[in-house]
A and B are shown apart, each in its own frame.
Chain A
Amino acid sequence: MKKTKVAESKILEHALVPKHEIMSEAEVKELLDSYKIRKAQLPKIKSSDPVCKEIKIKIVGKKGGKNKTAEQTKEKERTAEVGDIVKITRQSRTAGKVFSYRLVVE
């Protein structure tokens, strides 16, 4: 049987998997302030979670010389790391679109 590497890269498209996004630092601060909570109080998601390995966040390249462009493009994306907060857009049965947050842990 022919096997293609489908599942690895496409799990994010599966009907059971809601949209996951890594939040930027500013967004995280806003979230924590608005609920007056600490990061540790959020539900958790493991860094080994298959979705965590797939989602990426764009990083704004540091201001540097023009000769560093190659490095910058490399660093533009990264996957979820421990300490990040993942914003999850769920489709709720009762309330339409619902945002939920999970803290990435070991």
Chain B
Amino acid sequence: MKKEEAEEIAELLKDGKGDFTVAELTVGREELLESGIEEAHAADILKMLGRREEGGLKLAEIKSRVNACEQLSEKIKSELNEKLRAVRRRLSAEKLDAILRKVEAKYEEAKVEPREAVGIVAAQSIGEPGTQMTLRTFHYAGVGAIYITLGLPRIIEIVDARKKPSTPAMKIKLAGEYATDKNKAVQLAMEIEETFIKDIAKIEASPEDMSVWVSLNERELERRNIGREEVVAKLSGLSTGTKAGTKAGTKAGTKAGTNEKEHAVEIEETGAGRLRIPVQTKSYHELLRLEEKVSSKLAVKGINGIKRAIVRKDDADGEYIIYTEGSALKKVLEVPGVDFRRTTTNNIAEIAEVLGIEAARNAIIEEMMETLDEQGLDVDARHVTLIADAMTMEGEVKSIGRHGLAGGKSSVLSRAAFEVTVDNLLAAALHGERDELRGVTENVIVGQPIKLGTGAIELVARRSGGGSTQAKGQ
């Protein structure tokens, strides 16, 4: 808040126009009288409240007691309330003034001097508490066995702007009745979780009759709400034969004709929920290949990338939330029942891609603050904000380091001083680079005053004869 604004508000309140209220204001007899409440009434009010002495009463308390008092008529009650409002306002003007002055002082205190090296301060402010962080922590979110990288490895991951975090995870908030009904939430989690054939059936390759047997697990099928037909449909999409499989089919008849090895599978349903898939070409190699295909590649249901989905009840507001291992923001946001406004992932690159650079900036701040908080470290949000700002400056998420921000510096010496010194100097020599010596690092290296704080100021003298002479400040 600016000083002018603070004064403006204070002025407004003095006139009694403002409607600002401060809950912990206290009143006594004097204040009651001052606001036009008759002496007898004021005494009554104080008596009613069981107070003999003046002051030390919370206004909100008086108000609630006045309203709760049965002896007073409605008319008097409303009149009193009106007057109490007046008391509140008048009080605010004085106390608020003091409060605002304190706020202003704090604000001035938090201000950064022009030309102060905020980046260094931010680096130190995160670096120091960073030494206290656990080096290798895996935290289990909630009771479920979904673990996510935390602590120092996580901070490094964020700052390095990895395309994919080591433990991608999503927090999917639900909309409408999905958030309140556990069964619905679980059902939705099953929809989202990627389910492979091997999760719902036992797969065996039998060399005796040269076929792969798929024994469906009825209970799993029911739990995941998958019909037999779906499985069969998926399986029939398979083809035995060489890799030419799908390609040949699309590339006209020329190849398909010559490629005899390719066949669509035939599925024989036998009793007891068993499916038999015979191999066309009677080769042992082909059989194993088919088994491999069935067990590893066939997703029957769910979103690609979501390895596990667990429903948890949020302690704070009692809504059900789906936590996932693996992340696929774009696809999850499209699922009906998902509250796309509040659903997030810890994969910042993905957020940048789906929601844009500003969202990525917010995600960086949120993720870093969360990680620091979780470790019990109190780092001012301003430092983290600065880092996020620097990382997203160019419209894409850049890492801090020689491939990102530090590597993008224009000064040769500065880059060489950071990492891979020889490579940088060699490349600079080959290209005939110039160093303008504008930054801090370069000037420290060559032994010049650095342009920071007072060093950044240049003097301009105005002569009486007109024109100005510029001199470098020392």
Contacts and interface: CB of A to CB of B under 8 A. Distances in A.
Instruction: Name B's interface SS.
Output: helix
Contact of A102 (B342, B362, B395): B395
B356 A52 contact: yes
B395 A105 contact: yes
Given A6-B340, A49-B356, A105-B395, A16 B334 contact: no
Contacts of B336: 2, 4, 6
Interface string B313-354: 000000000000000001001111000111010000001011
Give the interface size class of chain B. 20 to 34
A102 B357 CA distance: 10
A26 interface: no
B409 to A, nearest CB: 17
A7 B330 contact: yes
Give the interface size class of chain A. 20 to 34
Contacts of A43: 389, 392-395
B172 interface: no
B216 interface: no
B381 A17 contact: no
Contacts of A6: 333-334, 336, 340
A12 B344 CA distance: 14
Interface in B350-402: 351, 353-359, 362-363, 365-366, 369, 380-382, 385, 389, 392-396
A51 interface: yes
A105 B381 CA distance: 29
A39 interface: no
Contact of A94 (B342, B382, B392): B382
20 contacts: A1-B191, A6-B333, A6-B340, A7-B340, A10-B340, A13-B341, A16-B366, A17-B358, A17-B359, A43-B392, A43-B393, A43-B394, A43-B395, A44-B395, A49-B357, A52-B356, A94-B381, A94-B385, A102-B357, A102-B358
Interface of A: 1-7, 10-11, 13-18, 20, 43-46, 49-52, 88, 90, 92-94, 102, 105
